[in-house]
Structure 1
Amino acid sequence: MYDPLVHPFPDKSQPDPDSYWLKVSGAAAPDDDGPVAGDAEVDVAIIGGGYTGLSAALALARDHGIKATVLEARSSAWGCSGRNGSFARISGGRVPWSQLVKTYGPDVARAYFQELRQGLDTVRALIADGGIACDKQPDGVYKVATFGTHADALRREEALYNGVLGYPARYIGASGLRGIHEGSESHGALYLPDGFSLNPLELARGLHRMARDHGARIHTNSPVTRWISDGGANRLVTPTGTIRARRVIVATNGYTSSRLHPSLAARVLPVHSQIIVTAPMSAAQVEASLPSGKCMFDTRELLFYYRRLPDNRMLFGGRSAISGNDAAAPRHRQYLYDAMVRKFPALAGIDVEHWWGGWVAVSRNSLPYCYRVPGANDVFTAGGYAGSGVSFSIHLGTKLAMLAAGRPFETSATFLTREPERYPFASFIRLGQWMAYRWLHAKDAREARRAG
């Protein structure tokens, strides 16, 4: 499969994912403008047709009167925007709030939290304003203690949410989860009242339609094969034509090839996340696993995320594969299946009907970013959502639109607007990831032994 550290771009030979979302939504994508035909000059070009790029295109046209041109290597939302686990939450990056407060201070943490809340509000408004039929579910998110030893940490996190961030998170003991989350790994949970699940592919398709309705052009099957700086402008070469753009937004996140632009290389680690979706559960299996249909994720070092779908299937996701070449190995499917059955023994023997994966982006500080690229010709980029970007990617798309329109992105969450540091020894980055996974698996195994 496409691997951003190996391949220059995803081409037509890359298959569509075997995703549940593609099954229920159908292969018929919204109308687009086809591949680039010949040469053209534009004000703003956007590389990447996922949440960030589509949101930027919509905001540029709707709020700033600029009709951008989107260059998507495959089809709109072909990457993680159409493949993800479907949780729109107050989230972004993978730094615990306690660590963020310690590193940056409570004022910066509160400012970041407000940016994240605005991100979720942005998604709510877009779904309502655009009439996007994306199967939005009722709000509610549970962070579930995998082991009893994790319960105290969730209580401390509850205090931090309420006392520092001013947000009404609520700890629920193990007995309070009955009828919500059953199974053998249910030792209490932190309940977050804001956040919902949806069909992520339909959300992206809705953004696509809205952007085009406002005048944006979206060229599919138009990978940027070469980027030439040309006297204050950017020449973006595609297989069927060249776009000369005064300003460029890079919105490729975890699908950013290391060869796209030298200033962007080694700024993120592409991490592969995989999902399985089961056959429909019986009524007894539902009651013994997830009677609630809310968003769920656990407290493992290498966490799992999961939900009961509206048609009573189980969606279950996590990290396993390191490289694209290895991602299709059956052991990764089995790893997710075994984890699901360990968590919900009643699901032993249930069939898996879909298994797919995609690339999320982790920056070196594990936090998102949105900035003007130093030393480049009016180039702007955002990303680093670390698998928690359904809402925040759309929010930062609106901020990229501001930057491309000549307006500043002003925020007291100061780390957001800084260029992320490069990963050192980029040639060995996958080896480092493998070692990190071994260490995190060992920590989880140690917790399991302590729990008996």
Structure 2
Amino acid sequence: MTEQAYDPLVDDYPAPSVLDPETYWASVAGPPPQDDGAIQEGVEVDVAVIGGGYAGLSAALSLARDYGIRAIVLEARSVAWGCSGRNGSFARISGGRMPIAKLIKVYGEEVGKAYFNEMLQALNGVRAIIREGEIDCDVQPDGVYKVAAFNAHVEALKRETDLYNDLVGYPARFVPKHGLAGIHHGAEAHGAMYFPDGFSMNPLKLARGICRLARRYGARVHPNSPVIGWQRYGGVHHLRTPSGLVKARKVIVATNGYTSSRLNPSLAARILPVHSQIIVSAPMDEKQIAGSLPSGNCMFDTRGLLFYYRRLPDGRMMFGGRSAITGKDAENPRHKAYMIDAMRRKFPALSQATVDYWWGGWVAVSMNSLPFVYAVPGQDQVFCGGGYAGSGVSFSVHVGSKLAMMAAGRTFATGASFLTREPRKYPFPAFMRLGQRIAYRVMQRKDTRESSKRACHCSTSNEAR
């Protein structure tokens, strides 16, 4: 593993010596796209976008294509160096970790419907960008399964399926355990909720394709240009990089889980960076494939500390889940061992499988476990989006287009009212990681209890996602 030592709660920005992560995606993605080099000397622009991942690149694309505004993107390292180039590759109807039942309980049915529509628009928006840019990103057929890891989770999953059908009219369906034959085998598959929409791809290829499309419309993308200083003079934002200065009337912040707590005081402690990791096995033989994932669809389970996985086009198993608490601990081999043990427990057919790749990255979790896209109060033309909680491949692209809309002077009107509110700060920021440790232990104990139940009468699990 070559996980980067950068920790957004500790460091100002990724050090120049930090290399690109050695992911499976990078190994098959081919050469990186052309860019505009690091910022040199002084530059004046209408809009500066901080962050060269899905949201930042999507914002730059939309500004240029839809509003005639040629923005520049400031990326600390290389294009999609953060989670946009490291993630689990699922573009689906998602955008956070609050389950729909809880969302409706907290915000009401109308807000729930509106948010579902935003998520559906987000997925269709990714499809549209892939078509427009003719992006070759190894798109796989649609189909997403939320798999009941334990017997005790089945009834809750059935109720969640009914909620999608009855509330928003979406044709999710429940698949009983016997119906998973030829789709998902192993020890932790007791039924599943199936979404007909949602696909997987090479996420790094997708990000690079969006970069090429944005530059085609006139946006400029500057790697190795972290913002190391930010002041405002006379209504103009002065963004200092190691080799230059950008003066911008408006700023979009799209750094999400990689947002340094020191970037801007108004943004500090509004998200918790959570480390997620992925392993990729060596190519499986026919027997291993048949005994694990005969289907190539997107899969995630109902654990509190959930796992997500799929079979890759070349027959490898991609398997992801939560990891270290701090960046300093990210390279500890015990985290790799934890993932390998979890994969083999879930799929006994892979008891002898070896692992060729191991990497990780930071996802962003807000206080309400939902994303946000808002004008930062008191900052004069600063707009920020993020908080996808590890489910943002499609929604981050969507948020980027909404950030562009807002920076262009338009109003983002949505019935999902929570989206455009400033996210609440975490209380006692110095103890965020301690709280995370406690939360992990609670969820692990809950998963252990659920695994021991034989009956299907538990309703708590659908709040894990």
Taking structure 2 as the reference length, the TM-score comes to 0.96
Distance in 1 (alpha carbons) for counterparts of 2:281 and 2:16: 29
Matches within 5 A, 1:223-302: 223-302=226-305
Q: 2:53 is matched by which residue type in structure 1?
A: G
Partner of 1:3: 7
Find the residue that maps to 1:44 and give its secondary structure: strand
Q: 1:318 is matched by which residue type in structure 2?
A: G
Partner of 2:461: none
Distance in 2 (alpha carbons) for counterparts of 1:260 and 1:320: 25
Matched, 1:206 2:209: yes
Among residues 326, 330, 336, which one is paired with 2:329 in the alignment? 326
Matches within 5 A, 1:16-415: 16-26=20-30, 28-415=31-418
Distance in 2 (alpha carbons) for counterparts of 1:442 and 1:70: 43
Q: Kindly indicate whether the alpha-carbon contact (under 8 Å) linking 1:55 and 1:211 is maintained by their aligned counterparts in 2.
A: yes
What is the root-mean-square deviation in Å for CA atoms of aligned residues? 0.8
Q: Kindly indicate whether the alpha-carbon contact (under 8 Å) linking 2:78 and 2:224 is maintained by their aligned counterparts in 1.
A: yes
Offset at 1:451? 4.0
Partner of 2:458: none
**Percent identity for Structure 1 against Structure 2:** 65
Offset at 1:120? 0.3
Find the residue that maps to 1:46 and give its secondary structure: strand
Q: Kindly indicate whether the alpha-carbon contact (under 8 Å) linking 1:11 and 1:223 is maintained by their aligned counterparts in 2.
A: no
Partner deviation per Cα, 1:333-390 (whole Å, 9 max, x = no partner) = 0111111100000101211000000000000000000000000021001000000000
Q: 1:321 is matched by which residue type in structure 2?
A: A
Q: Kindly indicate whether the alpha-carbon contact (under 8 Å) linking 2:137 and 2:203 is maintained by their aligned counterparts in 1.
A: yes
Find the residue that maps to 2:267 and give its secondary structure: coil
Distance in 2 (alpha carbons) for counterparts of 1:451 and 1:306: 25
Distance in 1 (alpha carbons) for counterparts of 2:154 and 2:325: 30
Distance in 1 (alpha carbons) for counterparts of 2:232 and 2:303: 45
Distance in 1 (alpha carbons) for counterparts of 2:119 and 2:282: 34
User: What are structure 2's unaligned runs of at least 5 residues?
Assistant: 456-465
Q: How many residues align?
A: 451
Partner deviation per Cα, 1:288-331 (whole Å, 9 max, x = no partner) = 00000000000000000000000000000000210000010011
Find the residue that maps to 2:38 and give its secondary structure: coil
Q: Kindly indicate whether the alpha-carbon contact (under 8 Å) linking 1:46 and 1:68 is maintained by their aligned counterparts in 2.
A: yes
Taking structure 1 as the reference length, the TM-score comes to 0.99
Q: 1:216 is matched by which residue type in structure 2?
A: A
Change (3 A) 1:4 1:349: same
Offset at 1:18? 2.1
Q: Kindly indicate whether the alpha-carbon contact (under 8 Å) linking 1:11 and 1:221 is maintained by their aligned counterparts in 2.
A: no
Offset at 1:230? 1.1
Offset at 1:224? 0.3
Distance in 2 (alpha carbons) for counterparts of 1:235 and 1:64: 23
Q: 1:180 is matched by which residue type in structure 2?
A: I
Q: Kindly indicate whether the alpha-carbon contact (under 8 Å) linking 1:267 and 1:364 is maintained by their aligned counterparts in 2.
A: yes
Distance in 1 (alpha carbons) for counterparts of 2:63 and 2:20: 29
Partner deviation per Cα, 1:42-88 (whole Å, 9 max, x = no partner) = 10000000000000000000000000011000001000000000000
Distance in 1 (alpha carbons) for counterparts of 2:348 and 2:385: 41
Offset at 1:149? 1.1
Find the residue that maps to 1:235 and give its secondary structure: strand
Q: Kindly indicate whether the alpha-carbon contact (under 8 Å) linking 1:81 and 1:204 is maintained by their aligned counterparts in 2.
A: yes
Offset at 1:392? 0.3
Shifted more, 12-21 versus 352-361: the winner is 12-21
Partner deviation per Cα, 1:399-419 (whole Å, 9 max, x = no partner) = 000000000000000000000
Distance in 2 (alpha carbons) for counterparts of 1:451 and 1:443: 15
Distance in 1 (alpha carbons) for counterparts of 2:223 and 2:391: 25
Matched, 1:418 2:421: yes
Partner deviation per Cα, 1:160-205 (whole Å, 9 max, x = no partner) = 0000121000000000000000011110000000000000000000
Find the residue that maps to 1:6 and give its secondary structure: coil
Q: Kindly indicate whether the alpha-carbon contact (under 8 Å) linking 1:229 and 1:377 is maintained by their aligned counterparts in 2.
A: no
Distance in 1 (alpha carbons) for counterparts of 2:270 and 2:182: 43
Q: Kindly indicate whether the alpha-carbon contact (under 8 Å) linking 1:234 and 1:377 is maintained by their aligned counterparts in 2.
A: no
Q: 2:27 is matched by which residue type in structure 1?
A: K
Distance in 2 (alpha carbons) for counterparts of 1:146 and 1:261: 41
The runs of 4+ residues in structure 1 deviating greater than 6 Å are none
Distance in 2 (alpha carbons) for counterparts of 1:15 and 1:237: 22
